[in-house]
Structure 1
Amino acid sequence: MKNVAIIGGTGYGAIELIRLLHTHKHLQVKKIISHSQFGEHITSVYPHLTGFVEEPMEEFEVTSLIEEVDIVFFATPAGVAKELIPKFADSTVQCIDLSGDLRLHSKEAYEKWYGKQAAPKELLNQAVYGLTEIYHEQVKGAKIISNPGCFPTSALLGLIPALENKIITSNHIVIDGKTAVSGAGRTPTASTHFSDTNENITPYKIGKHQHIPEIDQVLSKIAGDAINTTFTTHLIPMTRGLICTIYAELAKEISTEAVIDLYRTYYEKHRFVRIKEIGAFPTTKDVYGSNYCDIGLHVDERTNQLIIASAIDNLVKGAAGQAIQNANLMNGWEEAEGLDAIPIFP
């Protein structure tokens, strides 16, 4: 059994880590670190954890972490993990960052899109981008993982098989993303207030969402050429769930059946990606509370476009679940360990 520390212990990503790790055969939560609430019991913030987590939250102290834990999950806001991860450089502790600190290779891009100083180049070079199904082999040998963002996970899993197999062009890819309110985090704002979000759909961060360069970076690497997507996000009145509807120009004549067959072959060894039957498309309820990504596909002959719908739970496959999936691979365990749950319905 390996011990885990979760840094940023009161956010939604951390709470999902605690929930999922509770049934993990090889991992146990040893420490929960909170800069703002150390000394308090997490049950004072989340009463539903009563009887499951009894130890008080602690302040960050690297020496005790190195001595007592094997894996650290950073469920922190942007700007924190890049300062803390180098403190573990001379240890055997594995670090998995759920923030965006290590996702962008370019220092200039990070500072432009995140508005913060970038991580040292040496740290960026060590981090493996943990889009598990795509970088499966690289994750196996990693010590530092940069967990993908929620929107990039959905969009990239939806797009990569088509782009890699050259059935779509890279000229004009449009990604229409919709996410639940939990994607904005736990800190309340005017835009996430019930009166603003209920019975309302709000486009936000148009042209300046920090996930844009992350998506473009991965797709450009896959294509071997620069790709600039059109990516728009919308806040919708749900607690959790995310879906991307993607439009891409076809590069050759192909049927919907052939595209579905291609995707099923591409993901046949990856149990957490499920491809829908012809004429069927995913909903966020199909993956609620689970680590699945469900993908539906349609060839629109009238417009010569491939339409892709890709749904995930933003807090699981888009955050904590994928982080655990990566931890499993890093340690040679069954990839689905701790994650083999049926989606919640209704």
Structure 2
Amino acid sequence: MSNKLKAALLGASGYTGADLLRIGVLHPQLEFTALTANTHAGKPLGTVFPHLDGLGLPRLQQTDDMKWQDFDVVFCGLPHATSQEIIAEIVENHDRPRIIDMSADYRLRDPDSYQKWYGNKHIAPHLQEKAVYGLSEHYREQIKDARIIACPGCYPTAALMALIPLAKAALIDPADIIIDAKSGVSGAGRGLKQNTLFTEAGESLSPYAVASHRHSAELDQEISLAAEQQVAVGFTPHLIPMSRGELVTCHLRLAEGKSAADLRAALKAKYDVEPFVHILDEGVMPSTSMVRGSNLCKINVFEDRIPGRAIVIATLDNLVKGSAGQAIQNFNIAFGIEETTGLQQVAMFP
């Protein structure tokens, strides 16, 4: 009899679901015993994702057919607003499983903020107190005992890794943060959208959701907590013509008397013991090719030519450290498993 923890994945036909399975299927203490994809129910997974054929994974099924008590953990890869209802049903009516949610439904502590940014009222705001923001390196202790682990968005993961230690140490002016962010097309999901068609996105770089991207809410929330004051962050995302990868360039005003070297020292002090977050050698430029397919986040600090300012650049794979890999990392933390288990993939290059 297997002593692996039994897992279900909701939304197995999306990109994050596919990467969760790509990584998780080789995890020595994790067994996926149910996969849902309502529009593909009854099909073998290989008909939806041929690269996952032959792995012994179960057929896709309807979410309504799930028996929640059969699982130790449920990974949720469903769109926002869909997740909250299912998670509420599980948590309110069953003493198990634990939930690792890759949607936005339990990331925001303020229900009013959720309604503002996502356009609909949260149906279970009372469950927010059971949820922990799943930024692994910064909420590790809370994640250990949480019933609901709300994995951050991909952009916030990259930006917050770079900015939280600096805001906490009062090394930067939190009211003057500008984040220029770029992501591969997979960040938009697998649904059919005109702007992600090959002929629309290929050989083109374009901003989107200017001054209105939903991840702004997470950035404001977490940087405000770190800085101990309410702030609003300047954030502009861009779509780049590649399948995966993400890079954020953070333009910062230094606190009085501080230098880029101080920022670098603070980041190294925080992350030198972390297996997945690396501060690069001085002068080395982060690039998406350093992290593709891995659970790594690479960061570096540069002195701006404008006095009193600095530039911090971070890169990660939006589908791994920005989503599925972070979910597996949080699974390891939650169940007392060595944190690097199943996540030691070397970046793919070229």
TM over 0.5: yes
The percent of aligned pairs where both chains have the same amino acid is: 37
**Superposition deviation, residue 142 in structure 1:** 1.1
Q: Is the 8 A contact 2:68 2:90 kept in 1?
A: no
Q: Counterpart in 1 of 2:136?
A: 132
Between 1:245-254 and 1:45-54, the stretch displaced more is 45-54
Aligned residue among 301, 305, 312 for 1:308: 312
Q: Is the 8 A contact 2:162 2:267 kept in 1?
A: no
**Superposition deviation, residue 271 in structure 1:** 1.0
SS of the residue 1:169 aligns to:
strand
Separation of aligned partners in 1, 2:161 and 2:324: 17
**Superposition deviation, residue 332 in structure 1:** 0.5
Q: Counterpart in 2 of 1:162?
A: 166
- Where structure 1 has 5 or more consecutive residues not aligned to the other structure, the ranges are none
**Superposition deviation, residue 53 in structure 1:** 3.8
Separation of aligned partners in 2, 1:28 and 1:142: 21
**Superposition deviation, residue 303 in structure 1:** 3.2
Tell me the C-alpha RMSD between the 2 structures: 1.3
Say whether 1:318 aligns with 2:330. Answer: no
Q: Counterpart in 1 of 2:152?
A: 148
**Superposition deviation, residue 41 in structure 1:** 1.3
Q: Counterpart in 1 of 2:76?
A: 74
Q: Deviations over 1:264-308 (max 9, x none)?
A: 111122110000111112100100000111001012253311201
**In the TM superposition, what are the counterparts of 1:33-182 in structure 2 within 5 Å?**
33-61=36-64, 64-66=67-69, 68-89=70-91, 90-182=94-186
Instruction: State the AA in 2 paired with 1:33.
Output: T
Instruction: State the AA in 2 paired with 1:86.
Output: A
Say whether 1:200 aligns with 2:208. Answer: no
- Report the TM-score when normalising by structure 2: 0.96
Separation of aligned partners in 1, 2:336 and 2:39: 35
Q: Deviations over 1:207-226 (max 9, x none)?
A: 11100011100111111110
Q: Counterpart in 2 of 1:330?
A: 334
Say whether 1:31 aligns with 2:31. Answer: no
Distance 1:267 1:249, change over 3 A: same
Q: Is the 8 A contact 1:143 1:330 kept in 2?
A: no
Separation of aligned partners in 2, 1:161 and 1:280: 20
**In the TM superposition, what are the counterparts of 1:267-278 in structure 2 within 5 Å?**
267-278=271-282
Q: Counterpart in 2 of 1:282?
A: 286
Instruction: State the AA in 1 paired with 2:52.
Output: L
Separation of aligned partners in 2, 1:60 and 1:301: 54
Separation of aligned partners in 2, 1:330 and 1:314: 22
**Superposition deviation, residue 258 in structure 1:** 3.6
Separation of aligned partners in 1, 2:261 and 2:132: 34
- Where structure 2 has 5 or more consecutive residues not aligned to the other structure, the ranges are none
Q: Is the 8 A contact 1:101 1:119 kept in 2?
A: no
Instruction: State the AA in 2 paired with 1:6.
Output: L
Distance 1:163 1:60, change over 3 A: same
SS of the residue 1:338 aligns to:
coil
Distance 1:185 1:63, change over 3 A: closer
Separation of aligned partners in 1, 2:65 and 2:58: 18
Equivalent residue pairs, number: 345
Q: Is the 8 A contact 1:139 1:326 kept in 2?
A: yes
Q: Is the 8 A contact 1:42 1:53 kept in 2?
A: no
Q: Counterpart in 2 of 1:341?
A: 345
Q: Counterpart in 2 of 1:3?
A: 6
Separation of aligned partners in 2, 1:306 and 1:119: 42
Distance 1:62 1:42, change over 3 A: closer
Q: Is the 8 A contact 1:43 1:53 kept in 2?
A: no
**Superposition deviation, residue 325 in structure 1:** 0.3
SS of the residue 2:173 aligns to:
coil
Instruction: State the AA in 2 paired with 1:57.
Output: L
Aligned residue among 217, 241, 259 for 2:221: 217
Between 1:125-134 and 1:46-55, the stretch displaced more is 46-55
Q: Counterpart in 1 of 2:19?
A: 16
